[in-house]
């Protein structure tokens, strides 16, 4: 267990280092910041002085180490647009994004698990067909369109739920459905095929042969075995919901990190972009780390 | 043995409806097993041995449309007429249990042995609490001679050797003291020395509990050591049945004779192993007459009709025209 943990941590650190390097290089690719900071007709000496002052005349790897050192301390610089330290802005917006991602995640699992299990248990039945249609719709329809449709039906026509904002539980429902529907398809398929394989196994037959009730056989003994592949893609999709939620956040005016970063990109507010992307990638790596850990909880053979 | 048999199977059929046709995996099988008796079912792969066993428990392969016909009477009650709920709650476990072929895949890898062995005690309400079930499970492991059972309950299947796993499977199967135990090639996947241990275990369980055993195998030496009677299956049917001694000393069906001849003996001067030429027939469209006729060295024209059962006395029954004509 300790080895698994240490290995996971090491992997996470390496991934983080890679992410920081990519973020650093990408932000350098967008051009010389001096051309934005100084007037067009500034004398060459002033440019040189500014370059030296900002440390831009140092070698690239030196600049990267400085960036890294400051990033570790949480210093990404000040946001031009919001007039506050970038990292503070990111941490202010982050909880809303995590909240939405978790709600969407819960929704997608609440739909995918029963659909996947039941469509495996009753293969070829009407529930299998319905699961296939629901999953296909989620996969085929873009989330902003689902979002608009949900607003139209539930907020405008039926007036059951609010269309935008983030004041309470009722506000998260529609964006969570819009964001969570897409992964349902893949999750349902993974659970279904996992369950089909497990239900055909010797140990399930053995369980049946000693009179294990069907309910236990499916939801306890088979399901846990079918969980491993699901957990793998769960990690991927949770990360997707964290980082890919800006479309849904925009549609529902959800005050989250995704929308903030997109706005920062348009405003060329690089400190916010760098801080936002780096924090998101930390969450991404963290969720993968949790996936690795949960393998060993689900399957004792991995604990060794 | 004049008492009513423990298990009486009559004209059992299991047909699998597949896309390419109806596979008659078990096609009119009849036999009986008495209390405390071991019946060996032998035959080559695909002859329907395993399917016959699964039919008794009504556990059909899940991804195929299987249909059962005939009757399977256990203590006079026809299992084929029971509801699925009755099968699960009353029959599987307390009345009939099964030890399956491969101990490496028969235990759930993600639950402890204690969880799996204690299950049957709880499902069939032999105990009330999980703690009692665990105590019963420890007792069960002790019964199949697993050392330090209390400690082993917390282990996972991958922490057991093959032979030990088969003991665990056996403990699961006999948890509720079934009347009939079906052992489907219980030793095929094990080393020879471990095979003997498992066979001895089955024998001692039978001596303790008078359980009737159906032992499926293609290993005739195991049959000789453990069984009282043998049923020889070929292409979904039983073609000869009788006491072990009668079958070994006086096999009547050419297929049985060929099977026995295929056993290599030490000291015998033979350059090649004796094999039975040809392949078993396709079970989607089996021949109308004797199913072995295609490969039979003593084939006659009358073999185009299915041979009637001939009773040679002392429950030695054979379906072959050679015996019928005598």
- Judge whether A4 lies within some domain: no
- Residue A150 in any domain: the answer is yes
* CA closest to A202 among chain B residues: B106
A-chain CB neighbours of B156 within 8 Å are: 300-301
| Lowest mean pLDDT segment, chosen from A56-70, A116-130, B44-58 | A56-70
What is the DSSP-derived secondary structure letter of residue B36? T
- Numbered residues of chain A with Cβ closer than 8 Å to any chain B Cβ: 123, 196, 199-214, 216, 221, 224-225, 298-301
The verdict on a CB contact (< 8 Å) between A123 and B63 is yes
- Residues B88-116 have a mean pLDDT of 91
Instruction: Please say whether the beta carbons of B305 and B288 come within 8 A.
Output: yes
Q: CB–CB of B169 and A206 under 8 A?
A: yes
Most confident of A280-289, B145-154, B295-304: B145-154
Average pLDDT of chain A, as a whole number:
84
Closest CA to A210 of B214, B116, B81: B116
The answer to which of A53-57, B49-53, B308-312 has the lowest mean pLDDT is A53-57
Tens digits of residue pLDDT in B104-144: 899 999 999 999 999 999 999 889 999 999 999 999 999 89
Whether A208 and B119 lie within 8 Å, measured CB to CB: no
Question: Domain with A175 in it: what CATH number?
Answer: 1.10.3720.10
Give the confidence band of A195 by pLDDT, cuts at 50, 70, 90. very high
CA distances from A113 to A117, A174, A296, B54, B162 (A): 6, 20, 21, 30, 34
| pLDDT of A165 over the 90 cut | no
In a domain, residue A180? The reply is yes
Q: Could you tell me if residue A18 is inside a domain?
A: no
Considering only CB atoms, B123 lies closest to which of A211, A299, A300, namely A211
Pairing type for strands B180-184 and B229-234 reads unpaired
Q: What's the gap in Å between the CA of B96 and the closest CA on chain A?
A: 8
Total CB pairs under 8 A between chain A and B: 86
For residue A299, give the nearest of B92, B110, B169 by CB distance.
Answer: B110
B61 to chain A, minimum CA–CA distance in Å? 8
How many domains, in total, are found in chain A?
1
Residues of B in contact with A299 (CB under 8 A): 109-110
For position A43, what pLDDT does the model report? 82
Calculate how close chain A gets to B267, using CA atoms only, in Å.
Answer: 40
In a domain, A48, yes or no: no
Q: What is the ipTM of this complex?
A: 0.87
Is A245:A97 a contact under the CB 8 Å cutoff?
A: yes
**Chain B residues touching A203 at Cβ < 8 A:** 105-109
pLDDT over 90 at B265, yes or no? no
Residue of B nearest to A198 (CA): B108
Q: Is the dihedral of CA B115, B116, B117, B120 positive or negative?
A: positive
Beta-carbon separation of B108 and A225 below 8 A: yes
**Percent of chain A whose pLDDT exceeds 90:** 15
Of A200, A203, A216, the CB nearest to B62: A200
Cα→Cα distances A9→A286, A300, B166, B275, Å: 9, 20, 39, 60
pLDDT for the residue A225 = 92
Whether the per-residue pLDDT at A203 is higher than 90: the answer is yes
The residue range of the domain holding A263 is 86-303
pTM for this model (two decimals): 0.81
pLDDT of residue A62: 86
Segment A278-300, tens digit of pLDDT: 888 888 888 888 888 888 888 88
Which chain A residues are within 8 Å of B111, Cβ to Cβ?
A: 221, 224
Q: Is residue A102 part of a domain?
A: yes
Is there a contact between B106 and A213 if contact means CB atoms under 8 Å apart? no
Residues B168-192 have pLDDT tens digits of 999 999 999 999 999 998 888 788 8
pLDDT at A36: 67
* Residue A195 covered by a domain: yes
Contact yes or no for B175 and A201 at CB 8 A: no
Residue B213 belongs to what H/E stretch?
A: strand B212-217
Which pLDDT band, with edges at 50, 70 and 90, does B326 fall under? low
β pairing state of B77-78 and B96-99: unpaired
Question: Residue A199 is nearest to which of B62, B110, B124, comparing CB atoms?
Answer: B62
Say if A44 falls within a structural domain: no
Using a CB-CB cut-off of 8 Å, the residues of chain B touching A211 are: 88-89, 91-94, 120, 123-124, 176
DSSP letter for each residue of chain A: -HHHHHHHHHHHHHHHHHHHHHHHHHHHHT--THHHHS-TT--HHHHHHHHHHHTTTS-HHHHHHHHHHHHHTT---B-TTT-SBHHHHHHHHHHHHHHHHHHHHHHHHHHHHHHHHHHHHTTTSHHHHHHHHHHHHHHHS-HHHHHHHHIIIIIIIS--S-SS--SSHHHHHHHHHHHHHHHHHHHHHHHHHHHHHHHTSHHHHHHHHTT--HHHIIIIIIHHHHHHHHHHHHHHHHHHHHHSTHHHHHHTT---HHHHHHHHHHTT-HHHHHHHHHHHHHHHHHHHHHHHHHHHHH-GGGG-
């Amino acid at each position: 267990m300790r080895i698994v943990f240490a290995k996971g941590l090491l992997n996470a650190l390496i991934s983080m280092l890679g992410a920081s390097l990519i973020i650093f290089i990408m932000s350098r690719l967008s051009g010389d910041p001096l051309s934005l900071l100084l007037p067009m007709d500034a004398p060459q000496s002033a440019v040189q002085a500014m370059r030296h002052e900002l440390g831009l005349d140092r070698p690239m790897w030196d600049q990267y180490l400085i960036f890294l050192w400051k990033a570790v301390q949480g210093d990404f610089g000040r946001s031009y647009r919001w007039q506050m330290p970038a990292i503070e802005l990111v941490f202010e917006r982050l909880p809303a994004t995590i909240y939405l991602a978790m709600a969407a995640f819960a929704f997608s699992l609440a739909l995918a698990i029963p659909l996947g299990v039941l469509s495996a248990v009753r293969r070829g039945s009407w529930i299998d067909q319905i699961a296939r249609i629901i999953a296909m719709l989620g996969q085929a329809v873009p989330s902003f369109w689902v979002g608009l449709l949900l607003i139209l039906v539930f907020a405008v026509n039926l007036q059951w739920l609010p269309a935008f904002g983030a004041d309470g539980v009722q506000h998260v429902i529609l964006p969570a459905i819009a964001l969570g529907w897409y992964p349902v398809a893949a999750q349902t398929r993974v659970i279904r095929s996992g369950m089909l394989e497990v239900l055909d196994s010797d140990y399930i037959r053995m369980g049946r042969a000693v009179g294990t009730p069907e309910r236990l056989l499916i939801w306890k003994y088979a399901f846990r075995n079918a969980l491993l592949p699901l957990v793998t893609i769960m990690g991927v999709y949770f990360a997707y919901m964290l980082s890919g939620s800006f479309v849904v956040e925009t549609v529902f005016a959800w005050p989250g990190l995704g929308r903030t970063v997109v706005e920062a990109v348009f405003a060329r507010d690089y400190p916010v972009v760098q801080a936002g992307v780096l924090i998101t990638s930390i969450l991404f790596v963290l969720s993968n780390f949790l996936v690795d850990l949960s393998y060993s909880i689900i399957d004792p053979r991995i604990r060794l | 043995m004049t008492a009513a048999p423990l298990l009486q199977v009559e004209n059992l059929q299991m047909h699998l409806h597949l896309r390419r046709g109806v596979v008659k995996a078990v096609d009119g099988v009849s036999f009986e097993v008495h209390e405390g008796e071991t019946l060996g079912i032998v035959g080559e792969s695909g002859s329907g041995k395993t399917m016959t066993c699964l039919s008794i428990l009504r556990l059909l392969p899940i991804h195929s449309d299987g249909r059962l016909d005939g009757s399977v009477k256990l203590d006079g009650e026809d299992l084929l007429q029971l509801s699925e709920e009755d099968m699960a709650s009353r029959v599987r476990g307390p009345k009939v249990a099964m030890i399956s072929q491969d101990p490496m895949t028969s235990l759930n890898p993600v639950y402890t042995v204690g969880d799996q062995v204690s299950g049957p005690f709880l499902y069939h309400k032999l105990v009330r609490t999980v703690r009692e079930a665990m105590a019963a499970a420890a007792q069960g492991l002790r019964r199949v001679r697993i050392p330090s059972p209390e400690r082993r309950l917390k282990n996972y299947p991958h922490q057991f050797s093959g032979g030990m796993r088969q003991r665990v499977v056996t403990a699961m199967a006999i948890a509720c003291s079934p009347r009939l135990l079906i052992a489907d090639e219980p030793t095929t996947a094990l080393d020879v020395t471990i095979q003997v241990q498992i066979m001895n275990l089955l024998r001692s369980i039978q001596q303790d509990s008078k359980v009737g055993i159906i032992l499926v195998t293609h290993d005739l030496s195991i049959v000789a050591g453990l069984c009282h009677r043998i049923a020889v299956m070929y292409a979904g049917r039983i073609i000869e049945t009788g006491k072990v001694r009668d079958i070994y000393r006086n096999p009547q069906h050419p297929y049985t004779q060929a099977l026995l001849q295929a056993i290599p003996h030490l000291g015998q001067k033979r350059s090649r192993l004796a094999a039975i030429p040809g392949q078993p027939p396709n079970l989607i469209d089996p021949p109308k007459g004797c199913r072995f006729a295609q490969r039979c060295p003593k084939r006659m024209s009358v073999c185009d009709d299915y041979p009637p059962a001939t009773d040679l006395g002392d429950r030695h029954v054979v379906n072959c025209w050679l015996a019928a004509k005598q």
